[in-house]
Amino acid sequence: MAATIRDVAQASGVHVSTVSRTFSAPHLVNPETRNRVLAVAEDLGYRPNRAARALTTGRTHNLGLIVADISNPFFPPLIKAAQAHARTRDYHVFVADTDEDPQVEEELIKALAKQVDGVLLCSPRLSNRAIERLHADVPFVVVNREVKGMPTVLMDIGQGARLAIEHLAGLGHLRVALVSGPSGSWTSKRMREAAAAVDGVDLVFLGPNTPTEQGGLAAAAEVAASGATGVLAYNDLVAMGLIEGLHERGVQVPGDVSVVGVDDIVAGRLNRPKLTTVAMPTAAAGRMAVDLLLQSVAEGGTATLATLATGLVVRESTGPAPEPAAS
């Protein structure tokens, strides 16, 4: 016969409730006791019945994680970190991709609400009003966007954008193009606000743009015609596409135009030139989001706001502004 929770409790020398907590809330159990219970459970071949536990506790021990575009290299480190951290809390994570479509996003939230204890919304494309309405059905934590009254994890793109513009200004770039992302993007708005706060720089705002390499390629003609010698792109994919598009037009990076991306994805470090970028703490954001969501599930929704610092990584795609052409 299969081992039961009582068998594990007896062999471990603990109460049945301690065994239950070891699997349902391991962070509440003394580490020595937890390790002993887990070792006995492994020896006896005991596996907790999740369906039975869900009926008893009302908890599925599943979380949903919805991203705007799973093919975007920004998201995998966040997903991986969230999944690994959730496992330490005895939770599983279901990942879903909206393909940048707010209607698909709403459909996924409604479907997952019946199967999970809470949902992590990463860079959502829905309006704030829609997110607030759907929040009545399932606990949320929003990542990479601020929604009033909602638990939120932000990576401080405002700080990063300011550092990027100051870096370009320090290199003598007095006219800088901000190549934004999708229409209505919260990140684009924060980047614009932060960039506008830097004195002595003439800003050109170009967008909206698709947040991909193709979006960067498509923006190259506007950038080349703008007269800007420095560019801050919505993300690294846009920046790399932009560099390729500029190269096709005979514009050299960084000789003629300096380009800064956002995210610090691996591909940017392999690009030629290697990409100067705003590093985003995506893995830390994934772990923090899981903690806030489980806190919200256990204690009820609280409007906790966690903001993680960003930083500028200077590589090869930025350099001194070119000398003005002789009149």
Give pLDDT, residue 259.
Answer: 98
Do 292 and 153 form a contact (C-beta atoms < 8 A)?
A: yes
The answer as to whether 56 is a domain residue is no
Residues 144 and 163 in one domain: no
Lowest-pLDDT range of 22-36, 227-241, 270-284, 308-322: 22-36
Single-letter amino acid, residue 282? T
The string of pLDDT tens digits covering residues 126-142 is 999 999 999 988 999 99
Q: Please, are residues 230 and 173 in contact by the beta-carbon 8 Å criterion?
A: yes
Structure tokens at 138: 């399932």
Q: How far apart are CA 59 and CA 53, in angstroms?
A: 7
Q: Would you say residue 320 lies in a domain?
A: no
- Whole-angstrom distance, CA of residue 35 vs CA of residue 72: 38
Shared domain for 187 and 275, answered yes or no, is yes
Q: Identify the domain containing residue 29 by its residue range.
A: 5-48
Same-domain status, 259 and 181: yes
CA neighbor of 73 nearest in space, from 187, 239, 235? 235
Based on the fold, state whether residues 271 and 167 are members of the same structural domain. Answer: yes
Let me know if residue 192 belongs to a domain. yes
Mean pLDDT computed over every residue of the chain:
92
Q: Cβ(37)–Cβ(22) under 8 Å?
A: yes
pLDDT at 222 (0 to 100): 97
Order of strands, sheet of 258-263, starting from the edge strand that comes earlier in the sequence: 202-206, 175-179, 230-233, 258-263, 276-279, 311-313
> For the chain, what percent of residues have pLDDT higher than 90?
79
CATH number at residue 32: 1.10.260.40
Is there a single domain that holds both residue 162 and residue 264? yes
Q: CATH number of the domain that 289 lies in?
A: 3.40.50.2300
Q: Return the structure tokens found at 201.
A: 């720089």
Tens digits of per-residue pLDDT, 184-223? 899 999 999 999 999 999 999 999 999 999 999 999 999 9
Task: Please indicate, yes or no, whether residues 165 and 251 belong to a single structural domain of this protein.
Answer: yes
Name which of 176, 200, 108, 191 is nearest 145 in CA terms.
191
* pTM across the whole model: 0.82
Are 290 and 150 in a shared domain?
yes
Verify that 92 and 195 share a domain, yes or no. no
Q: Say whether both 192 and 259 belong to one domain.
A: yes
Determine, yes or no, domain membership for 327.
Answer: no
Instruction: Please name the residues in contact with 281: beta carbons below 8 A apart, sequence gap of 6 or more.
Output: 155, 308, 309, 310
pLDDT (tens digit, 9 = 90+) per residue, 51-73? 555 545 557 889 999 999 999 99
Number of domains in the chain: 3
Predicted pLDDT at 114: 86
- 86 inside domain: yes
Q: Is residue 324 part of a domain?
A: no
Residues 191 and 268 occupy one common structural domain = yes
Q: 156 or 45: whose pLDDT is higher?
A: 156
Residues 34 and 96 in one domain: no
pLDDT bucket at 294, cuts 50 / 70 / 90 = very high
Please indicate, yes or no, if residue 316 is contained in any of the structural domains: no
In a domain, 318, yes or no: no
Residues 196, 178, single domain; the answer is yes
